[in-house]
Amino acid sequence: MLPKNSSNEATANRRALSLTSMYFNRFLLFRYVTAIFFFVNLYWAIVLFGSGSLVGLLPSILLLGTGGVMVEQVNKFWKQTNRLTFTRWFYWAQLIANLIVGLGVALGQLRVFYPFLNGTSLPWVLSMLGLGALISGFLEYRAFLIEHDKDRYVKHIQQFAANI
């Protein structure tokens, strides 16, 4: 049988780990959406470079941005901060890129940005770019709430921490 002190210490360690996990999970949506943007931008860059287009630099830059977001998100496990500096920068860049590409596509430049598509896919492309812009905007809003401790999840964390 373990000494009583050891049991209390184990319980405290479990609660501390639970609190750390709760802080880390506060950013879970960012990690999932960043993974989606990573693979979309990766595929887009591969296809553009495969067709010899220098426009492939745009998704490549966005790929570097997703890498930075991933590093910042992994650091959230060890550093319990609500600062999302690089994450916010990336989602602004993704939002602006989606809007610029959407405008270019709407103005007849579909073949520049998507040389593998034809005009019949224009509504689909515009809707996907619009969805990407909406998601980026939503994540910017979520990041703002988190940075100002106005998200719902922080209240659960504070209640749990108060009961430890």
Confirm if 147 and 22 have CB atoms less than 8 A apart.
Answer: no
Mean pLDDT along residues 89-111: 97
CB atoms within 10 A of CB 137: 16
What pLDDT is recorded for position 20?
A: 79
What total number of domains does the chain contain?
1
What pLDDT is recorded for position 5?
A: 60
DSSP letter assigned to residue 56: G
pTM: 0.85
What pLDDT is recorded for position 19?
A: 78
Residue 156, domain extent: 4-162
Looking at the chain, list the stretches that DSSP marks H as alpha helix, in order from N- to C-terminal side: 4-25, 28-50, 57-75, 85-106, 110-113, 122-147, 152-162
Taking only the tens place, the pLDDT of each residue in 40-52 is 999 999 999 999 9
Angle at 8 between CA 4 and CA 13, to 5 degrees: 145
Mean pLDDT along residues 131-139: 98
